[in-house]
Amino acid sequence: MGMLDALVGRLERWEALDTVGQPLAKAVGRVVAPTPVRNLLSGTMMGHPLHPMLTDIPIGAWTMSAVLDLVGGEQAERAADLLVAAGVAAAVPTAAAGLNDWSDTQGAESRVGVVHAAANSTALVLYAASLVARCRGHRSTGKVLALAGLGALLSGGYLGGYLSFARGVNVNHTAFHYGPDDWTDALAEADLAPGQHRLAQAGDISVLLVRDGDRIQALDSVCTHAGGPLEEGEIADGCVTCPWHGSTFRLEDGSIARGPASIPQPAYEARIRDGRIQVRARP
């Protein structure tokens, strides 16, 4: 195990972070509760999580400002200042989207998320102070503050990458669920009365089957957002709501009525043949 892994492992087990994280997550949860706010900050309308898209702007702007500060010379000073300001402006909505995502995490992910947010907030404060120093003509101070900010930014960025790629936070939990190419047996028709729903297995995927008369609707049962069990969710108005964080998917086609999910739920074709319910991937 490398030094960084050991360090992050310690953060994951540092329960004292929960004393900050849990009340903050509740407060953020209240702020993002309205559906339009939730959908906007989650990236639901774009079909892609918003936070990782926005992070490119401050990271890119601040990194390039460091290059100009270090080797750009006098003629690049205005451009460097502009990049610092652009990063500060973009960091605010980036943080809001990140807090929204983080409020759905728990345990180890939540603790690492607290430190990720603290490092990035430190970067924001340092870059804002750098901007003020630059505006007042204290360029050397501005450069030092920006370099310190870059250090905090890189630390925060590392932890953000760790959360996504090592812990799977906010990745599509059905990325490799393709569904069977051919009609595949899932359940006896008699086991799913009209108006009921059941969890069934079709080949190597688990499906939520919902019956309305002779019509069967089939969604992948694993929530795209964080893997919640949709078969335990509430079904109403042609939608299923995930019991974990409240993402709501239309049974018709898996499209999202409410985030935090940003990736639609895989929907499969279903039919009744010879007393059996069969499922296959949509063409």
Q: Does 223 bind ligand FES (CB under 6 A)?
A: yes
Looking at 28, 96, 239, 242, which residue binds ligand FES (CB under 6 A)? 242
Look at residues 38, 30, 89, 42 and name the one whose alpha carbon lies nearest to residue 65.
Answer: 89
Q: Does 245 bind ligand FES (CB under 6 A)?
A: yes
Looking at 94, 110, 221, 247, which residue binds ligand FES (CB under 6 A)? 247
Contact characters 100-119, ligand FES, x per CB under 6 A: ----x---------------
Q: Does 251 bind ligand FES (CB under 6 A)?
A: no
For residue 58, give both structure tokens.
């401050």
In angstroms, what is the minimal distance from the CB of 252 to ligand FES? Answer: 18
CA dist 107 → 23, 126, 156, 246, 254 (Å): 13, 29, 18, 19, 29
Distance CA 116, CA 268 (A): 38
Kindly indicate which of the ranges 8-16, 34-42, 196-204, 226-234 contains the residues binding ligand FES, using the contact rule CB under 6 A: 226-234
AA letter at 11: L
Q: Does 277 bind ligand FES (CB under 6 A)?
A: no
Looking at 261, 267, 270, 279, which residue binds ligand FES (CB under 6 A)? 261
| Strand order across the beta sheet in which 215-220 lies | 184-188, 276-281, 267-273, 215-220, 205-212, 197-202
Radius of gyration (Cα) for the chain, nearest Å? Answer: 23
In angstroms, what is the minimal distance from the CB of 160 to ligand FES? Answer: 19
| Residues lying near ligand FES in the complex (CB under 6 A) | 104, 223, 225-228, 242, 244-247, 260-261
